[in-house]
Structure 1
Amino acid sequence: MVNIAKIAVGTLLAIALALGVYGWMLAKAPKSADPQAQIAAGEGQPASTINVVVAAKALVAGQALKAEDLQMAGLTARPDGAYDDVPAAVGSVPAVDIPQGAPILKGQLVTGLALKVPEGERAVAVKVDESVGAGNRIRPGDFVDVFFVLRRDGNEIDQSQARLLLSRKRVLAYGAASVDALTSQQDKADGKQQANSPESARTAVLSVPVAEVSRLALGGSNGSLLLALRNPADTSEPDMEKFSPLPGVLAVSLPKGAVANTPLEGADAAQAGVAMSSLAGATGVNRSNLGARPAAPMNAGTAKPAAPRVRTASSDSSLAVEFVRGANSQTVRY
């Protein structure tokens, strides 16, 4: 037994000696030449760079980015929302000023419904409910006709009327659903009716040419609007050349040689505005007696309210009195 114990002790001592020699040899070995290991050990090697899109010059908020406004630059770390190539960022609109050399980040750019509004048009919200919004069957991307109803009002409107106000306008949003952020498929799959779902919508956002925004605002504030859903393939619209243009509220200063009856368009028409009397029709109720007469142009710079006039006309059995106030008239028979 004593011999066996001596043999075991000797074996363990030999193993310990061998391990000690091996450790001494590792300590004396040259350090690794692997560059990745050197970088990990922080021995002064430069870190690898990542190419991202940066501003080639100072960029102003609200102006679309062009290719010459951008360039590629190497950064030691990739910022969140950075672009990998210039074409992907071209056409985006910064929401804030971006200094030269700063990376272009998606969080700095304009997003949302504004990017879905075509040039020359404006996004306008109108109040809706189940009856106004075609039974809440309207969805973002649909096209609608806007009708309006004006109720009788002795001050402005001689007779109640209903007619087409705007034709074939695109719906950008209905309730919380919009063309840029539709209701999530998960919510639909769960069968959950959200508080802001189309069934409980209170507003619809329409894309309207800027020249027609005044009509929509005036018609909606003084009457009732009705959205008529239409097939998107139906592109028919009224021939506006058959109707006289509505006179503007503001006076127009015409340059020398300009044609006086040239209709205003776009932002100029919106600036001129439209009056409620013109939108409702400037002639009176009894057109059969008076004959159709065109609306008198409204010129805020020179026009003055006309004094009330009374004209009488006799017939075989009654007396007709016509009251004329400005462009409006009304005939009363006694």
Structure 2
Amino acid sequence: MPRLTYGRAGFLRRIRMSHDNSLFVVVEGKVTDRYFIEKLCSAEQTVGRAGYEIYMVEQISDENGQVSGGKDAVLALFDYCKAEGKLAQKNSGGSRSVAFVVDRDSDNITGGKRRSPHVLYTYYADSEAHAFADGDLVKALQPAASLDKATAVEVVNSLGNWSEKLADDWRPWIEQCYLAKALRSRTWVGLGAAHSLVHSGAMRRELDSQKLAAAKAAVRDTSLYSGVKYDRIEKMVLDKIDRVYAAGRGRELLKGKWLAAQLTELIESSFNDPRQRVAWDNEHLRNMIAKFLMSFLDVDAQGSMYIRKKLVGLAA
């Protein structure tokens, strides 16, 4: 088992000296990312035969001895390994490769993806969103909410296509979040928010025209661009989002934390008996549902296969 932390140079030495494993995967988060990639790696015989190790980026300090998590830290490590010419190495045991797995976030719409086979972006916005897209909700709700199977089935059936509806209801907010990223706006509008800030009412589904106007103004007024360039970027982003929705794929734009919070509120509202709500531990569900969904992830689903194929390409 690898030791807890390495310096960057030490990490590369670890790879060079390895005789048992060929693929070294670095992930950005510690909530679901490592388990997510473990499930995908273990599902591929090619990767399993090659051998693999999975590291959180916080296990690898930078050249100043500092450790940090997140997407920027993973990409900084990628840049270092690329500059050192060590994205792929060979030793007496064969080829050794490094994979850097990061959240796609808005990059499919706003641009900025690193064009390297060693940088693997999630198919959905993040690993938690993968869990909501491809996890078995009936099975996950039973341990997460302490429900019997019959009640879990009843609850899930009552939800219908809840994530698609959320994407439709929150489209104005999603558009502004993606625009803020593409336009490099320094504002309160963005994917980091816990929920839509332009909706109010029950479960934040009622669009507030004044809040939406304020969000649009904030994105525009704090953007690094203006004039023709601003208009061009705005049109490009909105056109791309429109194509995603036209293809019926709006839920692919949702962050995992949005899905967790909204699912929790939807389930709570489905309990008609006030006594059920008293016994309902919504905080636990909101914090744990993505983890339980990941336990019941369909590793053969489209989103999972998208990453599995890239892992195989590096391990082969």
Q: Which has more helix, going by share of residues?
A: 2
Regarding TM over 0.5, the answer is no
The structure with the larger Rg is 1
Q: Which has more strand, going by share of residues?
A: 1
Range into which the TM-score falls when normalised by the shorter chain: under 0.3
Kindly indicate whether structure 1 or structure 2 has the higher relative contact order, using CA contacts under 8 Å at least 6 residues apart: 2
